[in-house]
Amino acid sequence: MAVVEVAALVGAVAAAAAVVEAAVAVTVAIPAAAALRIIMAAVKINNGESQRGSRQDAFTLVEMLVALAVLAVLVVLMAQVLNQVSETISRATQHTQSDTEAEVIFDRMGDDIAQIINRSDVDSLFIGVSTNSGNNDQMYFYSHGAGFSTNGTNSSPVTLISYLVTNNALVRLGISKSWDDITFITPSNTETVFNGSSPLTNSGNSANYFHVIGPSVFRMEIALLMEPGSTNANGTTNGNNTYANIGSGSNSWHGLTNVSSIVVALGILDQTSRKLTTTQQLTNLAAAFPNATTNGGIPIGVWSTNFYSVPQVPQIVLSQTRIYQRSFPVKR
């Protein structure tokens, strides 16, 4: 092979290598269409030089190298597309898991509240805990809902129900009471009165029967919507959008007098996203969801905007946080 031809071939290979390098680089910086135009322009220039004196029925080395460059462009573009599709599917799956969990929780709550025992001699307790302490609201009531039985021979249809968040998970207590310990059948007895500071004091080992119903729930807020026009024990009259003032300890709300609906809001972060957070970060995230007010209830609109600016929490975690709210009418 002549020296000139060898030099030309070496130059063509170098030019093709430059084309490949440029092809990979431009896929990141510019759109695919522009990248292909640049590559094809290089092909036209180099192909015109390399085809002189070559056979017309065979591929030149430059043509094969350029074909590989085009293939590299397509592979890179396809990889980017597949990666984006994979991330989208992953986020959608996590959202679906949160949606399903919230639906299961609300269905369970709805069944319990629909069968709640609303009598003057049967107490209900709602504890409002400030989120600044890193805690969540709690509720305790008697219902005909499902529960564990501790007395198989003398069980009653009455179940002690409780919902609360502990260890960044929503737990439910459902324990069927026996006829032996239900002495509140007569109005003169105060067996069912809950202690605001220690609600399960008179319930034996009931605390052992809590089970996780919402593993991804880190925030629960409860609000009691009052009947418009009704009069409270302190003489105040409830308006069209008045909610009970739920406190903690001795300020907890007892009973269902004048209560029209029990409103529950949940903050949920899926298990996959939780792996990117610490316990303190979840506490900070819960604190971004303000407590309910007596005039307006749960500020769900503020919830929807506040958590996007929680400091020291990864943005990907904030984007996966989901908020849910449902109202449960109280039967009379």
Q: List the chain domain ranges.
A: 1-49+60-114, 120-329
Residue 196 CA to residue 73 CA, distance in Å, equals: 68
Instruction: Give the pLDDT band (50/70/90) at residue 197.
Output: confident
Cβ neighbours of residue 101 under 8 Å, at least 6 residues apart?
Answer: 214, 215, 216, 217, 268
pLDDT of residue 23: 45
With CA atoms as reference, report the closest residue to 22 among 1, 49, 56, 45: 45
For residue 260, pLDDT over 80 is answered with yes
H-type alpha helices, 51-174: 61-114
Q: What is the pLDDT of residues 122-149, one digit of tens each?
A: 889 999 976 554 579 999 999 999 888 7
> In the predicted model, what is the mean pLDDT of residues 274-286?
90
Q: Which residue has the higher pLDDT, 311 or 10?
A: 311
How many C-beta atoms lie closer than 10 Å to residue 235's C-beta? Answer: 6
pLDDT of residue 131: 54
CA dist list (Å): 289 to 1, 28, 219, 295, 315: 79, 40, 8, 17, 17
pLDDT of residue 127: 92
For residue 267, pLDDT over 80 is answered with yes
Q: CB-side exposure of 193: number of CA atoms within 13 Å? A: 6
The answer for 299, left when phi > 0, alpha when psi is -120 to 50, beta otherwise, is beta
Cβ neighbours of residue 316 under 8 Å, at least 6 residues apart?
Answer: 273, 276
For residue 19, pLDDT over 80 is answered with no
What are the b/e assignments for 132-164, b being 16+ CB within 10 Å? eeebbbbbbbbbbbebeebeeeebbebbbbbbb
Are 80 and 72 in contact by the 8 Å Cβ rule? The answer is no
pLDDT of residue 134: 55
Residue 309 CA to residue 9 CA, distance in Å, equals: 60
For the chain, give the number of residues. 332
Average pLDDT, whole number, for the chain? 80
Say whether 35 sits in a helix, a strand or coil.
helix
For residue 53, pLDDT over 90 is answered with no
Say whether 110 sits in a helix, a strand or coil.
helix
pTM of the model: 0.72
For residue 40, pLDDT over 60 is answered with no
Strand order in the sheet with 322-329: 217-226, 259-268, 322-329
With CA atoms as reference, report the closest residue to 251 among 151, 122, 126: 126
Instruction: Give the pLDDT band (50/70/90) at residue 264.
Output: very high
* E strand intervals along the chain: 125-127, 138-143, 148-149, 155-166, 169-178, 210-214, 217-226, 253-254, 259-268, 322-329
Residue 41 CA to residue 320 CA, distance in Å, equals: 45
Q: What is the pLDDT of residues 167-193, one digit of tens each?
A: 999 999 998 877 766 554 444 555 567
Are 140 and 199 in contact by the 8 Å Cβ rule? The answer is yes
